[in-house]
Structure 1
Amino acid sequence: MPMRNVTLRQMRVFAAVAQYRSFTRAARELHLTQPAISQQIKLLETEIGLPLLEHVGRQIHLTDAGDELLRYASQVNDLLRDAGESLAAMRGLRRGVLKLGAVSTAKYFAPSLLSAFAPAYPEVTIRFTVGNREEIIQQLASNQIDLVIMGRPPRELVTVAEPFAKHPLVIIASPRHPLANKRRIPLQRLGSERFIIREEGSGTRASMEHVFRERGVPIHPAMEVSSNETIKQAVMAGMGLGFISIHTVGLELATGKLVILNVAGLPLIRDWYVIHLRDKRLSPITAAFRSFLLEQGATIIRKAAEENKPIPLETT
């Protein structure tokens, strides 16, 4: 029977070498000697009957067989981790690894959520990844992260998506902009303005395009950028207007560097979602954080926003 004699240690060693592309780094991470790492890889290749690694100069690459085995080695390691956390929970211990991903807009409040959650779980290791929408979806699909915070559930994956907080989107301007002190500005009036917009694939951009298209208003980009920080800096410099999450501009509003335009029908209220793959078996720590978001996330985000004293959302 193929792989009958493969051991968990061999799979763990192989996964480490595949991750770091280095026998030396894998040995250091696993607290083994480099000869011990080499021996485990040779035994594994002998048992499988196929080469898993190839050396090109000083670089280590996975063969096709190595790529295939890595998928299963990662699953084995995840299952062992989940089993350990489940058994620890049964013993009353609160430890484990929380692998959380968030789209870049959520990075402004995610630390407040983690800070409120962490004290009850001092032995938990938190691995927090921030990226654009496409990067986070890819990491979710490849099981690199267990939970995701984003504003629009991915259609390309089968997931469980649960809303836990409101997500207002607004139009920002420099305080020197001619419309800065106007009230009830028709959205159509902005059809002649230039906008600093997010890149293709961004959830914020998709929301902007939807609301403008729905009302028949054209968008004239002055610049396309890949970060909210660049949008804010460009708007402060007077290069155009920005369509952005209010959660990203609290400090700039409080210090008077930016203003929210009083546009009729805005802010656009969306939801923040906590998302995981439908077939994913959540570890006790991951399930605990998910429940924490659903129960307390909205309150924590609101309090964090109030500390920055943003202007009221209502556009009366």
Structure 2
Amino acid sequence: MTFHQLKTFLAVAEAGSIRGAAAALVVTEPSVSATIAQLSRELGVELTERVGRGIRLTEAGREFARYAARILGLADRAVRATREVAGGAGHLRLAAVTTAGEYVLPPILASFLQAHPGLRMSIEIGNRASTLSRLVNEEVDLALGGRPPDRAGIVGEAVRENLLVVVGSPDHPLRGKRGLDPRLLSGETWLMREPGSGTRQN
């Protein structure tokens, strides 16, 4: 099993197709297919299955993907740590949920980088589910978002409040009323973020 195989497998998992993975990796489709087939043979299990024109992970494939992401994340972390010990420039990998990436992160980036002039930084923006997944899988060093999960290996620190408010039409019957019972809103039509968003889960 090689890093190349793991990267190819995760590209297929993310793209949902051989063609999409090949485009993302800038390789040929037969090359991707051969790599996935070889990895499946080495593991002795089928990692993917055909669904129409696409591909999805089998149950074994989904389990393997969790470990593959962590292996690649740890490998990248090992490379960076080794280079830093040898005197190379540090590299901070940061992930942020969409709201924090748009409104919280930009004002503090300039001063942070001025205080650490030799530091390189990479930033990934996504919803809460993808941001926490990157953190758990060692793909990033730090995540900025709301409500850290209660799980081993993740330490959270509150830095500011995140106030959520309900916004409605100016002519809504409940406009201007205070101290509303949340049950009065249960029958309303809501415009919500996508599944995986922290705002949707609140």
Using the aligned pairs only, state the percent identity: 28
1:126 to 108, 123, 127: 123
Q: What's the offset of the Cα at 1:58? A: 0.7
Q: What's the offset of the Cα at 1:103? A: 6.9
Corresponding residue for residue 65 of structure 1: 60
For 1:88, the aligned partner's letter is R
Corresponding residue for residue 173 of structure 2: none
Q: What's the offset of the Cα at 1:19? A: 1.5
- Separation (CA, whole Å) in 1 of partners of 2:98 and 2:142: 12
Structure 1's 100 and 121: CA in aligned 2 closer, same or farther, altered over 3 A?
farther
Please say if 1:156 is aligned against 2:150.
yes
Which moves more between the two structures, 16-25 or 115-124? Answer: 115-124
Secondary structure, in 3 states, of the residue corresponding to 2:95?
A: strand
Secondary structure, in 3 states, of the residue corresponding to 1:32?
A: coil
1:10-159 correspondence to structure 2 within 5 Å: 10-94=5-89, 96=91, 98-102=93-97, 104=99, 107-118=102-113, 120=117, 123-129=120-126, 131=127, 135=129, 139=133, 143=137, 146-150=141-145, 153-154=147-148, 156-158=150-152, 159=154
Q: What's the offset of the Cα at 1:54? A: 1.0
Secondary structure, in 3 states, of the residue corresponding to 1:84?
A: helix
Corresponding residue for residue 219 of structure 1: 180
Secondary structure, in 3 states, of the residue corresponding to 2:155?
A: strand
Structure 2 contact 48–55 (Cα < 8 Å) conserved:
yes
- Separation (CA, whole Å) in 2 of partners of 1:226 and 1:104: 14
RMSD: 3.6
- Separation (CA, whole Å) in 2 of partners of 1:136 and 1:44: 25
Secondary structure, in 3 states, of the residue corresponding to 2:156?
A: strand
**Higher Cα radius of gyration:** 1
Secondary structure, in 3 states, of the residue corresponding to 1:9?
A: helix
Please say if 1:194 is aligned against 2:177.
yes
- Output one character per residue of 1:70-103: Cα deviation in whole Å (capped at 9) or x when no partner: 1111111101111121122123333646232247
Query: How many pairs does the alignment contain?
Result: 175
Structure 1's 30 and 90: CA in aligned 2 closer, same or farther, altered over 3 A?
farther
Structure 2 contact 5–39 (Cα < 8 Å) conserved:
yes
TM-score by length of 1: 0.45
Q: What's the offset of the Cα at 1:167? A: 4.2
- Separation (CA, whole Å) in 2 of partners of 1:136 and 1:30: 20
Gaps of 5+ in 2: 166-175, 194-202
Structure 1's 135 and 50: CA in aligned 2 closer, same or farther, altered over 3 A?
closer
For 1:27, the aligned partner's letter is A
- Separation (CA, whole Å) in 1 of partners of 2:130 and 2:30: 37
- Separation (CA, whole Å) in 2 of partners of 1:65 and 1:92: 41
Higher relative contact order (CA 8 A, sep 6+): 1
Structure 2 contact 17–55 (Cα < 8 Å) conserved:
yes
Corresponding residue for residue 257 of structure 1: none
